Amino acid sequence: MPINEPAKGKKKSQIEEYVEYYGGAGVQHIALNTSDIIGAIRNLRARGQQFLSIPDTYYDQLRQRLKSSGVKIKEDMAVLQELKILIDYDENGYLLQIFSKNMQDRPTLFIEVIQRHNHNGFGAGNFKALFEAIEAEQEKRGNL
């Protein structure tokens, strides 16, 4: 279970914002495992769930890295890009993951949907894209 704490800096971190709005420590996100992330995300979107937006440059760069990796993604990359599903991989396999926008009227709880293909990591390769997407939402709220 990852545990985060806010760090003071030039800007308000997303952890600092969470603690401020939540009023203290708490659960920031819940991860849900699925065997069909594409179907799950299409169903959640159809029911009104919103997800963080990932720039197309993420997928352009990912395609370049995958060419030399030896990892074969079974899912259609165009569909993963359309749905804004993140991909992380190592020598053993890959995972697909996506993060919702905040589920309440304040930036506290969000969900992660994840599908694993022989990969036990937590999407470390996606941290930069995830934090940039979270910060974009934070900026929209005027808290960055």
Report if residue 12 sits inside a domain: no
| Confidence (pLDDT) at 109 | 84
Report if residue 50 sits inside a domain: yes
Report if residue 110 sits inside a domain: yes
| Confidence (pLDDT) at 24 | 79
| Confidence (pLDDT) at 38 | 99
Q: Is the dihedral of CA 20, 22, 28, 32 positive or negative?
A: negative
Tokens (6 digits) for 45 = 């979107």
Q: Tell me which amino acid residue 38 is.
A: I
Average pLDDT by stretches of 10, the chain with 144 residues: 63 73 80 97 97 88 88 95 94 93 82 92 65 70 65
Q: What are phi and psi of 134, to 5 degrees?
A: -65, -45
Report if residue 79 sits inside a domain: yes
Looking at residue 84, which CATH number applies to its domain? 3.10.180.10
| Confidence (pLDDT) at 79 | 98
What is residue 33's three-state secondary structure?
strand
Radius of gyration of the chain (CA): 16
User: Structurally, how many domains does the chain consist of?
Assistant: 1
| Confidence (pLDDT) at 1 | 58
| Confidence (pLDDT) at 103 | 82
Q: Which domain holds residue 134?
A: 28-140
| Confidence (pLDDT) at 106 | 78
Do the Cβ atoms of 96 and 37 come closer than 8 Å? yes
Report if residue 13 sits inside a domain: no
Tokens (6 digits) for 43 = 């169903």
> In whole angstroms, what is the distance from residue 57 CA to residue 76 CA?
17
| Confidence (pLDDT) at 113 | 97
Pairing relationship of beta strands 94-99 and 29-33 according to DSSP bridges:
unpaired
